A and B are shown apart, each in its own frame.
Chain A
Amino acid sequence: MTRDAIRDLILEIIEDIDEDADFDTLQADKPLRDQLDLDSMDFLDIVMELRKRHKLQIPEEDYPELATLDSCVNYLEPLLADA
């Protein structure tokens, strides 16, 4: 998957979680949590959805890698290289 496709995937999953999420002003290098009102349960949903869609197993200790949109893309890029 390209970096853009991974980015779109993450945004799509977040939109499923919170249909009111506003992506227009989202800064990719700032924590998603602060900008979109996401809590720890929402991050769990992202993990579960990635497992469902792409069979990705993200261990709990790696959850902090999902903090910003940029860090998500960096972390997932090698894992989704063949997707």
Chain B
Amino acid sequence: MPVSFSQADDKYDVIVIGSGLGGLTSANRLAYCGYRVLLLEYHSQLGGLATWFKRNGHIFDVSLHGFPYGMVKTCKKYWNKEIMNSIVQLKDIVFDNPQFHLKTTFDRIDFTQKLNKQFKIPQSTIDAFFTRVAGMNFYDDQSMTTRELFEEFFPGRSDVHRLLMEPISYANGSTLDDPAITYGIVFSNFMNKGVFTFEGGTDKLIGMMTTELENNGVTICTNAKVERIVVDKGVVRGIECQGRMIEAGAVVSNSGITNTIHNLTDQDAFSSEFMEKANKIRVNNSSCQVYMGVKKEDTIDDIGDLLFTSTVAEFDSTELRDFKTGSKTFSVYYPKTRPGHDRYTIVASMNSNYSDWEKFTEEEYKKEKEDLIQRTLIDLDRYFPNARERMDWIEAATPRTFNRYTLHTQGTSFGTKFEGLDVSRSIFKEVNGLFHVGSVGIIMSGWLGAINYGVIVSNDVDAYMRSKD
């Protein structure tokens, strides 16, 4: 169990700030490499955006809508087999919009078939498209946008663009104007074998990870907000938290990259060239969610696991983030999600801008949340009639909620645009011993991206620590 911050020692080999999946994984890897690790989390619960909450007998998952098959290998190698064994496939992915309706397993074989039969795209074009995206690397030329990529293969086919883009926009906030390579890498990850989830829910996953961290000797403190990263003569010395300094040979920040640079570290620790790059970082959009719990005696028929729905004529990245967007995903959690817990819940997710929500007074905010719930229930009625009457819990989250719980700049749900990756990767060249881990660059976000990035960064930390000896 996490201990209180007052029990932390005065000195560690490595301090990890933040317990998102990236921070948890870095802490675990570094402990496995033999370092004494302290993990400090601001919130009372571990997991960052990989989180859940309990209401009225329901357990709501915030970011467990689906991840790629790569999680199986990643969890086995960097966590443990027990965690790996809980990963199961979500087989029914539904698209419903004015352009098309379909149900898919969201993998290459099924997509190829749908594109060929339903959308009448020649087999050779489909194969060429898959080959192109599968061959994309993050260090490739990034001047082509996803829009240009789609136009090259499927000119004028806004329906095909929608099928290919909508789920990825929801998964990482990217748009048609982001680099095609970010699209190709993430899309290919999913197309490998489809969409997967964690049986038992986020609470079970984070519980298992906490046990593993403790077995590996990591000291964990919650309710511990780091105020400052202490840098002296270009070298990291430790952190300050609750008025206390803790020394460390290296500090890994899982706080957002913009927070890490602007709010946690002394500005004069960075060169002007570096700050110039850092100032250009754009964060991704935030989210709105509506969490709905079905009454005990009621059930949900099999309407699919993940529903990408829209009432809007054509796909448009800006519309997706609109305050009153007609586009929503519904994640349906059947009792199979948490074997032994026989309740049904639905979580509606929308992309959203922080700027649309920050301006409201408390009273306006309350009303706008109620209106958001109302709009969501109207849309949900198409798949689950009389939705409001059948729920015994309904609650909304907005960009303000995400900002409050994670401190992320503008409540970003998916870190930064592509330029954030380079800044995150090069921060330790600016300040010796300071590392960043967490959602950046679109490709290093999501559960899989954050965990893999945690491994990449712990490799950098290990190399640095050993070079000091």
B459, CB-defined interface residue at 8 Å: yes
A51 near B466 with CB under 8 A, answer yes
Contact B459 A48 (CB under 8 A): yes
Residue B463, interface by CB 8 Å: yes
Across the A-B interface, how many residue pairs have beta carbons closer than 8 Å?
24
Q: Do residues B77 and A51 form an inter-chain contact, with CB atoms below 8 A?
A: no
Whether A48 pairs with B462 at a CB distance below 8 angstroms is yes
Given contacts A51-B463, A57-B467, contact A45 B77 (CB under 8 A): yes
User: Is the C-beta of B202 less than 8 angstroms from some C-beta in chain A?
Assistant: no
A21 at the interface (CB under 8 A from B): no
Question: With a CB–CB cut-off of 8 A, which chain B residues contact A41?
Answer: 73-74, 77, 452, 455-456
A44 and B463 alpha carbons, distance in the complex (Å): 12
Which A-chain residue is minimally distant from B451 (CB atoms)? A41
A47 at the interface (CB under 8 A from B): yes
Binary per-residue interface labels of chain B (417-428) against chain A in the complex, 1 for a CB within 8 Å, 0 otherwise: 000000000000
- Asked, given contacts A44-B455, A47-B459, A52-B33, whether A17 binds B466 with beta carbons under 8 Å apart, the answer is no
Interfacial chain A residues near B456, Cβ < 8 Å: 41, 44
Q: A residues within 8 A CB of B467?
A: 57
Q: Write the B456-469 contact mask toward A (1 if CB under 8 angstroms, else 0).
A: 10010011001100
Contact check, B459 vs A44: say whether CB atoms are below 8 A apart. yes
Contact B77 A57 (CB under 8 A): no
Which residues of chain A (28-68) have a CB below 8 Å from chain B? 41, 44-45, 47-48, 51-52, 55, 57
> A17-B77, A45-B77 are contacts. A51–B462 as well, Cβ < 8 Å?
yes
* Number of chain A interface residues as a range: 10 to 19
For window 1-56 of B, CB contacts with A under 8 Å fall at: 33
Per DSSP, chain A at the interface is helix
Instruction: For the complex, give the distance between the alpha carbons of A49 and B466 in Å.
Output: 13
Question: Contacts of B466 on A, CB cut-off 8 Å?
Answer: 51, 55, 57
- Nearest CB on A from B464, distance (A): 10
CB neighbours of B74 from chain A (8 A): 41
**Chain B nearest CB, measured from A39 CB (Å):** 8
- Taking each of A17, A45, A48, A52, which has the highest tally of chain B beta carbons within 10 Å of its own beta carbon? A48
- Shortest CB-to-CB span from B189 to chain A, Å, is 10
**Bound: A44/B454 CA distance, A:** 12
B-side contacts of A57, CB under 8 Å: 463, 466-467
Smallest CB–CB gap between B22 and chain A, Å?
A: 14
Distance, CA A55 to CA B462, complexed state (A): 11
Q: How far is the CA of A52 from the CA of B33 in the complex (A)?
A: 7
Find the B residue at minimum CB distance from A37: B73
Most buried by B among A41, A45, A47, A57: A41
A15–B80 alpha-carbon span in the complex (Å): 16
Residues of A within 8 A of B455 (CB): 41, 44
Q: How far is the CA of A55 from the CA of B455 in the complex (A)?
A: 18
Distance, CA A45 to CA B33, complexed state (A):
12
Please, how many angstroms separate the alpha-carbon atoms of A48 and B455 in the complex?
10
B462 contacts across to A, CB distance below 8 A:
48, 51-52
* CA gap between A12 and B462 in the complex, in Å: 21
- Name the A residues within 8 Å of B33 (CB-CB): 48, 52
Report the Cα distance A44→B33, complex, angstroms.
14
Q: Which B-chain residue is minimally distant from A16 (CB atoms)?
A: B77
Question: Could you say which residues of chain A place their CB within 8 Å of the CB of B459?
Answer: 44, 47-48
Distance between Cα atoms of A57 and B469 in the complex (Å): 13
CB neighbors of A among B46-100 (8 A): 73-74, 77
Q: How many Å lie between the Cα of A26 and that of B35 in the bound state?
A: 36
**Complex Cα gap A51–B456 (Å):** 14
CB distance from B187 to the nearest CB of A (A): 16
Mark out the residues of chain B between 428 and 469 whose CB falls within 8 Å of any chain A CB in the assembled complex.
Answer: 452, 455-456, 459, 462-463, 466-467
Residues of B within 8 A of A45 (CB): 77
| 24 pairs, CB–CB < 8 Å, chain A vs chain B | A17-B77, A41-B73, A41-B74, A41-B77, A41-B452, A41-B455, A41-B456, A44-B455, A44-B456, A44-B459, A45-B77, A47-B459, A48-B33, A48-B459, A48-B462, A51-B462, A51-B463, A51-B466, A52-B33, A52-B462, A55-B466, A57-B463, A57-B466, A57-B467
Q: Which 10 A-B pairs have the closest CB atoms?
A: A48-B459, A44-B459, A41-B452, A57-B463, A44-B456, A51-B462, A51-B466, A48-B462, A52-B33, A41-B455
